[in-house]
Amino acid sequence: MSWRLSRASWPRLTFWKGIFLIVVAVGLYATWVRFSRGLGAATNLGDEFPWGLWVGFDVLCGVMLAAGGFTLTAAVYIFNAERFRPIVRPTVLTAFLGYVLVVVALLYDLGRGDRIWHPLVMWNPRSVMFEVAWCVMLYTTVLALEFAPVVFERLRLERPRRILRGISLPLVILGVILSTLHQSSLGSLYLIVPEKLHPLWYTPLLPVLFFLSAIGIGLAMTIFESSLSAKYFQRQLELPLLRELGRFLVVVLAVYGVLRMQDLHHRDALRFVLEPGYASSLFLIEVVLGLALPIVLLLSPRVRARVGGLYLSSVLVILGFITNRLNVSITGFEAATGATYVPRWTEIAVTAMIIAAGFAVFSLAVKHLPIFAAEPSPVVPAAPPVPARVHHVRA
Amino acid sequence: MSKAILYDATQCIGCKLCEQACADRWGHPYDDTLAAQEKLSAEKLTAVLSRGDRFMRRMCMHCADPTCASVCPVGAFTKTAAGPVVYDESKCIGCRYCMLACPFGVPRYEWNKTLPRVRKCDMCADRVAAGGQPACAEICPTGATLFGEYETLVSLAQQRIREAPDHYVPHVYGLHEVGGTSVLLLSGVPFEQFGYRTDLLHEPMPMLTWRVLSRVPDLVLLGSVLLGGIWWITHRREEVAAAEAQSASRSRESG
């Protein structure tokens, strides 16, 4: 990028930099409160409500929103959907950053973050949390290795890049399997609380529903990011490809929706939907706004014809599933146990700082690394390069 | 032989000496204010609840197959052969999954410490191991809290209900709840009045997650083969293309 070009885009950057600096300053103060005075002073958690925003949003939603990484690498490397290759790098970067930030959030939330490594040497294979811990560690490593070629390319380190390319397929398979385990195990965490979680959300199918929704989110996040990149980095997928992702998304959402309703019906829990109150309102927000509406929208060819329509639908899906994760981890407990929880400002400040850091590192990476450069196809090196689907919107 | 505690609420006079003895044993502070708090906390590992002239104790139930021990990622909880469920604070990473998962809502956290620990009753495991009995059972002036062999106490509890059916709720709490606990409760009024859930499963909670977890190794192998297989099929076209290109160039050379 030329010096003059970055100079020209200064005004907008200054505004965002200002916001960023404020968020970081407040976040750092909250960090000081957290580590100097403990969880009691920094959170509204208590013996009745041991898990709050940092688990429900930073960890559960963080992992969920990183699902684009495994969805897209599976599509490109395993299902050979080469046309999506141009967005593999930004998606893997998002997933990697997502996982790193989840680990950062864990360091805040764990009472003894200094012992975060304990599950490596102290095993309890009966624990879902043990599985979660290993999945976080292994998949973060896999994502780092999947992303490393971009860094090596920038640094012109040919040898390590070739080595990683040689193991890219096993790496992708490992990543997909670890993601499957991890996404579903975050649902399995809640299998142990049948008497505490509201029946609208407690189901033996939690791991299946979490996994299916992760695929949906993976597709929605890819559409969402591509649209955002179009705006801020002047890069995006061609519309037909976004449209195709939209079609996949409808199918995943429909399968998820049907399974969800069947499950409620078989557990005789549909009656809770009609029971007016806190729980049913939250459920309806999740299912009507986050599931039914985007399905209807995406089924319409007119909506799928425009980037704006696809973008809106993906935002609805993302907000819907964020609501779902918060319902499972926070509000579903309030409705069933009578205990209440509202995050303290410090919890929100830390979360905001972590999100801001994610955006900042992403922008820096885009500026300094070949994120949007079309990666040459590794399978048939002799063949002419795959036509780059990425193009300059404003060009 | 496994040990147990039988608490018979109908014999409890609410003197709270058990609370005092428990605080002394752990070195926790204890005064009138703390005595008035009818709930567990990091410095109050047993509590006597009162509803009029009825009383009920709360403490760790020492499950036969403890949920806390199954959910802990680092295995900080252990069910000892003697009965007590003990906590190793040197392992704990502070994820608080035990607190979320415990069906009796027992584990407490040191929220205001910078290096916090989980706190819960350990049935005075050290005293039990030395052949003694828990502080609360030892001090109880009426025999409402008894310590002894599990089987003996189960029969005693059942006998009491049998002999005075009007006096008791016909339910030995802890006999079947979550597959059985080493703390057994008898009461003259419904247990729900004191916050004890009577809708708990009658099998150990850990099987809820084990049903899924036990399939992980199978899933890894199956998934690898499936994904590898899909890759092999979807990339066949390129193999064919490469082979054709090769044979074409060979025939060009020979021709």
Q: Are residues B37 and B127 in the same domain?
A: yes
Model confidence pLDDT, tens digit, residues A175-200: 999 999 999 999 999 999 999 999 99
For an interface test with A, give the residue of B88, B114, B238 to mutate (most A CBs within 10 A): B114
Contact A189, B98 (CB under 8 A): no
Residue B167 within any structural domain of the chain:
yes
Q: Are residues B222 and B130 in the same domain?
A: no
Q: Are residues B194 and B231 in the same domain?
A: no
Model confidence pLDDT, tens digit, residues B143-201: 999 999 999 999 999 999 999 999 999 999 999 999 999 999 999 999 999 999 999 99
Q: How far is B132 from chain A (nearest CA, A)?
A: 31
Total count of domains within chain B: 2
Q: For A279-293, A346-360, B201-215, B234-248, which range has the lowest pLDDT when averaged over its residues? A: B234-248
Q: How far is A50 from chain B (nearest CA, A)?
A: 6
The mean pLDDT of A69-94, rounded to a whole number, is 92
Angle between helices A168-188 and A128-155 in degrees, nearest 10:
150
For residue A20, count other CB atoms closer than 10 A to its CB.
17
Find the residue in B nearest to A118 (Cα).
B74
Find the residue in B nearest to A203 (Cα).
B208
Flag if A115 and B92 touch (Cβ within 8 Å).
yes
Residue B239 within any structural domain of the chain:
yes
Q: Are residues B219 and B189 in the same domain?
A: no
Give residue A225's pLDDT.
87
Kindly state the percentage of chain A with pLDDT values over 90.
Answer: 75
Residue B134 within any structural domain of the chain:
yes
Q: For A53-67, A244-258, B229-243, which range has the lowest pLDDT when averaged over its residues? A: B229-243
Give residue A241's pLDDT.
87
Residue B85 within any structural domain of the chain:
yes
Distance CA A99, CA A102 (A): 5
Residue in A194, A196, A178 with CA at minimum distance from that of residue A186: A178
Residue B210 within any structural domain of the chain:
no
Q: Are residues B48 and B167 in the same domain?
A: yes
Average pLDDT, chain B: 94
Handedness of CA B199, B124, B170, B176 (dihedral sign): positive
User: CB of B164 within 8 Å of any CB in chain A?
Assistant: no
Give residue B1's pLDDT.
63
- Kindly tell me if the per-residue pLDDT of A276 is higher than 90: no
What confidence category does residue A374 fall into, taking pLDDT thresholds of 50, 70 and 90? low
What confidence category does residue A338 fall into, taking pLDDT thresholds of 50, 70 and 90? confident
Average pLDDT, chain A: 89
Q: What is the SS3 assignment for B145?
A: strand
The mean pLDDT of A81-106, rounded to a whole number, is 93
Expressed in angstroms, the distance from the first to the final Cα of chain B is 90
Q: Which two tokens stand for residue B105?
A: 């809502």
User: CB of B223 within 8 Å of any CB in chain A?
Assistant: yes
Model confidence pLDDT, tens digit, residues B213-240: 999 999 999 999 999 999 999 988 777 8
For residue B57, how far is the Cα from the chain centroid? 17
Q: What is the CATH number of the domain that holds B179?
A: 3.30.70.20
For chain A positions 115-144, those within 8 Å of chain B (CB to CB) are 115-116, 118-119, 122-133
Find the residue in A nearest to B240 (Cα).
A380
Encode burial over A74-104: b for 16+ CB neighbours within 10 A, e otherwise: bbbbbebbbbbbbbbbbbbbbbbbbbbbbeb
Q: Are residues B229 and B199 in the same domain?
A: no
Residue in A316, A280, A273 with CA at minimum distance from that of residue A295: A316
What confidence category does residue A1 fall into, taking pLDDT thresholds of 50, 70 and 90? very low
Find the residue in A nearest to B220 (Cα).
A177
User: CB of A150 within 8 Å of any CB in chain B?
Assistant: no
Domain boundary among B205, B224, B242: B205
Give residue A387's pLDDT.
45
Q: How far is A380 from chain B (nearest CA, A)?
A: 7
Nearest CB among A112, A131, A191 relative to B93 is that of A112
Model confidence pLDDT, tens digit, residues A136-165: 999 999 999 999 999 999 999 999 999 998
Residue B34 within any structural domain of the chain:
yes
- Kindly tell me if the per-residue pLDDT of A360 is higher than 70: yes
- What is the residue range of B172's domain? 3-205
Model confidence pLDDT, tens digit, residues B77-99: 999 999 999 999 999 999 999 99
Give residue A271's pLDDT.
93
Residue in A343, A344, A350 with CA at minimum distance from that of residue A30: A350
Query: Looking up tokens 């509202």, which residue turns up?
Result: A342
Give residue A381's pLDDT.
40
User: CB of A194 within 8 Å of any CB in chain B?
Assistant: yes
User: CB of B15 within 8 Å of any CB in chain A?
Assistant: no
Q: Which two tokens stand for residue A205?
A: 């199918």
Q: Are residues B186 and B232 in the same domain?
A: no
* Whole-complex ipTM: 0.91
Q: Are residues B82 and B165 in the same domain?
A: yes
Give residue B240's pLDDT.
82
Flag if B94 and A110 touch (Cβ within 8 Å).
yes
Considering just the CA atoms, what is the radius of gyration of chain B in Å? 28
Q: Which long-range contacts (CB under 8 A, 24 or more apart) does A165-169 make?
A: A165/A378, A168/A77, A168/A378, A169/A77, A169/B231
Find the residue in B nearest to A186 (Cα).
B209
Q: Are residues B62 and B80 in the same domain?
A: yes
Distance CA A183, CA A175 (A): 12
Model confidence pLDDT, tens digit, residues B97-130: 999 999 999 999 999 999 999 999 999 999 999 9
Model confidence pLDDT, tens digit, residues A220-230: 999 998 888 77
Q: Are residues B136 and B23 in the same domain?
A: yes
Query: Looking up tokens 């360091």, which residue turns up?
Result: A107
The mean pLDDT of B7-28, rounded to a whole number, is 96
Model confidence pLDDT, tens digit, residues A25-54: 999 999 999 999 999 999 999 999 999 999
What confidence category does residue A5 fall into, taking pLDDT thresholds of 50, 70 and 90? very low
For residue A306, count other CB atoms closer than 10 A to its CB.
13
Q: Are residues B142 and B19 in the same domain?
A: yes
Contact A180, A67 (CB under 8 A): no
Distance CA A184, CA A281 (A): 25
Q: Are residues B183 and B232 in the same domain?
A: no
